Structure 1
């Protein structure tokens, strides 16, 4: 009787293992297809969306390859092809670009944070912002309520350029109460790119060591097709790229673009934007640095908060900050 029970338990265990392996292989097959389709993200918005969770794809494929090796499923090693394609996209983030080192000894420090209009942890977020040691702070999703909280509770920084809105598009720029003597704000303004866009951006021109830098704090549309959002994101990328090239070639300024771009660094659209704007992704050399959604562990997030800069600048430090109650984690970048 006990032998029969043991045999039945073994059958159930084998069935469970077989079912698990089958489901894992089906998931890995879906991931492999998604990786291939993601390569054509510039052609169709769904393929663009599929191009973003490459880190998660790599984890699934790695597990499938390990399990396939353990159970000697030779065909499962075909998953090595999409896994390798993923590595080609991800690994460059761990290598610094070969850029000239500036003679400036003091870096320009910029802090970016999406406050999240639904975030009610005002004290936590404002305390964290106030604790930063940055030359410029850019905030997104600034509502009238957030603005009132910033006015009453903010320390060490003061409001400079602000446009609060009841939706998720409000923006603000903060500067230190005691500003660094080597940095001068020449001008700042609210821009819309394109002109008919409902999404405000902050442009600020700073002078450092006698040279001007044009900085753009921006948040672009999500790459979904709700009301043509994906196409509008592409238009925004194109407009920002034109602005960047004009600043570099026409105005002879260095350029920094920072904000929530709702796109990952391996996205075809993002990579094309970097080329068109003649900018370098500051994330290169600093690894994955995922920022959204903030509540998930690092390996389950994606990197959509970015800083890009012209080739005359170099990123000397870059880090993702702590959870401030928002769905995004903050970004701190130091550039020379």
Structure 2
């Protein structure tokens, strides 16, 4: 008597099919959320909360790539196509804002070098910040989130290199300090857009005797209605400040905005500034512990100057990484 054929292989195939369908369903759900977030990011001019979605385009790309690989493994063709489309739609504005354009040119005559550091108010490692500044020795240093403690821990010890300082300490997150190796002319605090968030404006003399206006800024993060309004107001007001600042301008600091976001692009188009990272890459700065998947929130924008070199500085114990830019005529 012949034994009946076993049904075990059929059971295994059915179980595998069920798992594939379950995984595919989860992949399609996450992709649907990615499509929603991506679409909202393009509507950043409508509302601050919608605009937050635009900042995470690199993260959408990484997530879509991983989901697309999973979808390919379970042979979910439609999910693979959607994942590929998400990658393309999110990569385009990132590349347009950071890679396409004239990059640094080392052949320009040297004008001055600048360094912007969000030191993080509660960072206990002032020695690491000082060491990074002394190693880089830029002509001008902009420090963000400077409270009274940083005066004795950093500003005083640096007076041998940077005797010219304009300081506006604050016990919240919005204290500023501008340090220079050469005299700061007409250094003052201004508050474009109101809201009590200061900007330091000063003029320095670059190589060859030509003056450059420096603007050190730190608008608040747009994470709640009041802060979002103040963030928008300051970024909306900055173009007028830049246009009245002379032929050569450097605007630097933690803008709490990515290069492909609506407020940032509006700042560039309204002021004539250009991003020093163009032609270089994304150069993420926050969070310092995860730069590959982070956000480029710290910026050096220029007008009337050429970018000679740009790099990201070392970890100084802050949640942000420093930005160093060499500028030329």
Correspondence 1:81-92 to 2 at 5 A: 81-92=85-96
- Contact 1:262–1:305 (8 Å) recurs in 2: yes
Equivalent of residue 153 in structure 2, options 144, 149, 155: 149
The Cα shift of 1:309 comes to 1.1
Equivalent of residue 55 in structure 1, options 58, 72, 87: 58
Query: Which residue in 2 is equivalent to 1:275?
Result: 269
The answer as to 2:159 corresponding to 1:198 is: no
The answer as to 2:326 corresponding to 1:334 is: yes
The Cα shift of 1:23 comes to 2.7
TM-score with structure 2 setting the length: 0.87
The Cα shift of 1:289 comes to 0.5
The Cα shift of 1:224 comes to 2.2
- Contact 2:221–2:227 (8 Å) recurs in 1: yes
The 2-side partners of 1:186 and 1:245 are apart by: 18
- Contact 2:103–2:279 (8 Å) recurs in 1: no
The 2-side partners of 1:148 and 1:234 are apart by: 33
Query: Which residue in 2 is equivalent to 1:119?
Result: 123
The answer as to 2:174 corresponding to 1:169 is: yes
> In terms of mean alpha carbon deviation, does 49-58 or 61-70 score higher?
61-70
Query: Which residue in 2 is equivalent to 1:322?
Result: 314
- The answer for unaligned runs of 5 or more in structure 2 is 1-5
Query: Which residue in 1 is equivalent to 2:3?
Result: none
The Cα shift of 1:10 comes to 8.1
The Cα shift of 1:31 comes to 1.1
The answer as to 2:288 corresponding to 1:288 is: no
> In terms of mean alpha carbon deviation, does 110-119 or 313-322 score higher?
313-322
Summarize deviations over 1:35-89 as a string: whole Å, max 9, x none: 1111001101121011101001011112233333343322120333332221210
The Cα shift of 1:115 comes to 1.0
The 2-side partners of 1:102 and 1:151 are apart by: 31
- Compared CA separation, residues 95 and 274, structure 1 to 2 (3 A): same
The 2-side partners of 1:295 and 1:6 are apart by: 48
Summarize deviations over 1:186-207 as a string: whole Å, max 9, x none: 332222213x432222111123
Across the aligned residues of Structure 1 and Structure 2, the Cα RMSD in angstroms comes to: 2.7
The answer as to 2:230 corresponding to 1:232 is: yes
The Cα shift of 1:129 comes to 2.3
The Cα shift of 1:120 comes to 1.2
Query: Which residue in 1 is equivalent to 2:298?
Result: 305
Summarize deviations over 1:78-127 as a string: whole Å, max 9, x none: 3333322212101121233389x798522411001011111112222222
Is the partner of 1:202 in helix, strand or coil? strand
Q: How many residues align?
A: 319
- Compared CA separation, residues 66 and 267, structure 1 to 2 (3 A): same
Equivalent of residue 258 in structure 2, options 252, 260, 264: 264
The answer as to 2:139 corresponding to 1:140 is: no
Equivalent of residue 97 in structure 1, options 79, 102, 113: 102
> In terms of mean alpha carbon deviation, does 287-296 or 89-98 score higher?
89-98
The 2-side partners of 1:272 and 1:137 are apart by: 26
TM-score with structure 1 setting the length: 0.86
The answer as to 2:209 corresponding to 1:214 is: no
